[in-house]
Every structure is written in C-alpha cells, then in structure tokens.
Amino acid sequence: MTDAQPRFARLLVTGGAGFIGSCFVRDVLARKDGTLVTVIDKLTYAGNRANLAPVEADPEQAARLRFVEGDISDPTVVGPLVRDVEAVINFAAESHVDRSILDPEAFLRTDVLGVHVLLEACRSEQERNARGERAAAPRFLQVSTDEVYGSVETGESHENDRLEPRSPYSSAKAGGELLARSYFVTYGLDVVITRGSNTYGPYHHPEKLIPLFVTNAIDDKQLPLYGDGLQRRDWLYVSDHAGAIGHVLEQGVSGETYNVAGNNERTNRDVVTTLLHQLDKPWTLVRRVEDRPGHDRRYAMDSSKLASLGWTNKMPFETGLAATVDWYLQNQDWWRSIKAGEWQDYYERQYGARLAGSTDAG
C-alpha cells in the first residue's frame, strides 16, 4: 500500500477490456494501493481479455480484479455490481465512427440506453444511501469525447460551447452525456463528465487510424487515407487519457464537465508521414480513398479547466507514437488474431470498394 490513499477504494469499470478502459484498469491496479476493481464488459468485437493479461500475470493485482462478462444495458447484471462499489467509470461504448455510419443502432443501445441503465442503478444506490443502507452514494464518471462539439474549423472548444455532433457515434455519445448531466440536475446524483480527444497507444483496436496504418504498413499493405488527408486531430496518449479520467474521478467537481486535450494537433497526413518514417516504410503505400461521409474536419479543445484541477499530460506525441509503433512490432500475435475472423468482413465492407477506386495520395 502507498501513503496517498485514493478517494474511492472499490470501482466498477465498464468497458474495461477495451482500449482506454483496460489502460485505466492496468494503471489503477499497478498503483498497488489496495483498490478493488470490477470490470463489466460485453466483449464485443472491440473487447479483449488479453488487454488485461498484464494484471492477470501478477497475483497481487489479479486478486483485486473481478471480471464480469455482461452488457451495461442489462439492469439485472448492472444493479448488483453497482451495489458493491463507491464509483462507476463508464468507458463502455461502441466507439468507431465508421461502424456507426454502417450500422447506427448498436450505438444507441450502448452509448445512450446503456448509460441510462447505469444511471438508474446509481440512483437506486443513492436512495439506499438516503435510507442509511450504505455509507455514501456512488460517484458516476461518464467518459465522453471531443466529437460531441462537432467539427471545429478554428479556435478551441470550451466546456460550455454548444454541442453539435455530426455522426451517429458522436450524437449517441452526446445523448449519453446529456442524460448523465440530467441525473445530476434532476436527482442530485454525483456525476462528472470527461471529454477526451483522439487517443492512441498500445492495445488500440486496428480499426482506428494509427493502429490500422501501422499494422497494414508492417505487412506492406495499402493505407486508405480518407479524402485529402488534411483533417486535423489532437492526439492524446492513452495513459495520459486514463490518468486524466482518474484525476477527475478523484478531484472533479460534481456536475462539471472537463475537456481532456492532447495538445498535439496534427493533420492525418502528418501522422502518417511520422509513422511511416518510424517504420521505415514508403509513402507509396498510402492511397487516397473516398472520404468518410460527414467527415469532421478538425477537433481542438481548451483544457485549462482540467489544468486548474492540477492535471498535466506527460507524453510528447513523437515519443508516444514511437512507443506505439514499437508495441505493434513487438505484439504481432495480439493484432494478428484480431485481424482474423470478423475483421475480414468489416474490412471488405469498409475498404473493398474504396481501395478498388483509390488514387495516388500525392
């Protein structure tokens, strides 16, 4: 045990077998401060028990992790789990914009209705607390995204800006966080919300830009760049994102929303140039393909509110990208097994016609 005791000793982490959720779980358990973590994860195509392997390899950490395979939209599973914890951190989501364009319904089920089920379970616990049946009401942290602001052509989004989501994914995420906020306003539930920017790092599912391009490039496969590739994203290393969420969990003011920026704004072309350089692969792998419909041109957020809470990111982009590229080179079993199975159908549906009609990317 360390000296600094965390505010919450028992956590329910939803989506803890996904990319950012598993990083949060690995980092919290590695603190070795006695925190107990229950993960609920549906193990969709994006969930992977192997993401928690480092925890399960350490008996002390493994003893403090309980894994439940289940759906956050199922109140019979969620209710008893929330009863046992002091805080709920909701990472669980359908998270890929392109899949939301192909098939939006799953996004509404998990990213909106699933949030509702979790909030209702927290509200029941708040009522138990009011009856003296538990020591405190649970805190609920909703992990949201910069995409709820929509495309930001200039300047930076602030927490009170209007939400203008433009894809089924970001609209569902906006719905989920607005619902969470309404439970603070209406029922006085202890709710905090984070809006993170584009996250990258180890264990990132290969459907997303950086891991898709790194793993395709390792195999000398084509890299499908949408449109002119001059869209801009602000890149945040995964352990910085998970750390910021932990900081807001501990320090965030109830009812407040916090932007988590990366402060590493790059065009997609810049990102691809850097990762190809790190892999020593040629630009000729890159193909210009038909753009994503409704493609947001740029995201950028101001995160001085989070800074004033005492949080700063640690990882510079080029260092983080080099560590990420190295991780994909060293962990080929991890991504090659994902790229078998369901992946093949998805890849054909998303990229088959696009690559067939692709042109030189300049």
* Binders in 15-54 for ligand NAD, by CB under 6 A: 15, 17-21, 40-44, 46-47
Binding site partner of 64, from ligand NAD, ligand TDX, none, Cβ cut-off 5-8 A by kind? none
DSSP H or E segment with residue 275? helix 268-279
Quick check: 157 binds ligand NAD (CB under 6 A)? no
CA–chain centroid gap for 19, Å, is 6
Give the binding range for ligand TDX (CB under 6 A) out of 54-62, 93-101, 259-267, 277-285.
93-101
Please say whether the beta carbons of 95 and 18 come within 8 A.
yes
Q: Of residues 13, 14, 25, 299, which one binds ligand NAD by CB under 6 A?
A: 14
Give the binding range for ligand NAD (CB under 6 A) out of 157-165, 194-202, 247-255, 296-304.
194-202
CA–chain centroid gap for 171, Å, is 16
Quick check: 269 binds ligand TDX (CB under 6 A)? no
Taking the CB of residue 95, how many other CB atoms lie within 10 A of it? Answer: 25
Say which of 71, 111, 147, 156 is annotated catalytic.
147
d(CA 330, CA 297): 33
d(CA 316, CA 184): 35
Q: Of residues 90, 95, 142, 215, which one binds ligand TDX by CB under 6 A?
A: 95
Asked if 296 is an active-site residue, the reply is no
- Phi and psi angles of residue 167, each rounded to the nearest 5 degrees, phi first: -115, 160
Quick check: 301 binds ligand NAD (CB under 6 A)? no
Binding site partner of 209, from ligand NAD, ligand TDX, none, Cβ cut-off 5-8 A by kind? ligand TDX
* Binders in 126-145 for ligand TDX, by CB under 6 A: 145
Q: How far apart are CB 233 and ligand NAD at their closest, in Å? A: 9
Quick check: 93 binds ligand NAD (CB under 6 A)? yes
For tokens 């001085």, the residue is 304
Quick check: 147 binds ligand TDX (CB under 6 A)? yes
Quick check: 172 binds ligand TDX (CB under 6 A)? no
Closest to ligand TDX by CB, 231 vs 257, is: 231
In single-letter form, the type of residue at position 276 comes to L
SS3 track for 208-260: CHHHHHHHHHHCCCCEEEECCCCCEEECEEHHHHHHHHHHHHHHCCCCCEEEE
Asked if 147 is an active-site residue, the reply is yes
Beta-ladder partners of 87:
11, 139
d(CA 198, CA 235): 5
DSSP H or E segment with residue 89? strand 87-90
Residue count of the chain, please give it.
362
Q: How far apart are CB 149 and ligand NAD at their closest, in Å? A: 12
Asked if 103 is an active-site residue, the reply is no
Closest to ligand TDX by CB, 208 vs 305, is: 208
d(CA 280, CA 272): 12
Please say whether the beta carbons of 209 and 275 come within 8 A.
no
For tokens 């067939």, the residue is 356
Say which of 149, 169, 200, 258 is annotated catalytic.
169
Q: How far apart are CB 223 and ligand TDX at their closest, in Å? A: 8
Positions in the binding site for ligand NAD (CB under 6 A): 14-15, 17-21, 40-44, 46-47, 71-73, 91-95, 110, 114, 143, 145, 173, 196, 198-199, 205
Binding site for ligand TDX (CB under 6 A): 95-97, 145, 147, 198, 208-209, 212, 224-226, 231, 233, 268, 292
The catalytic site residues sit at 146-147, 169
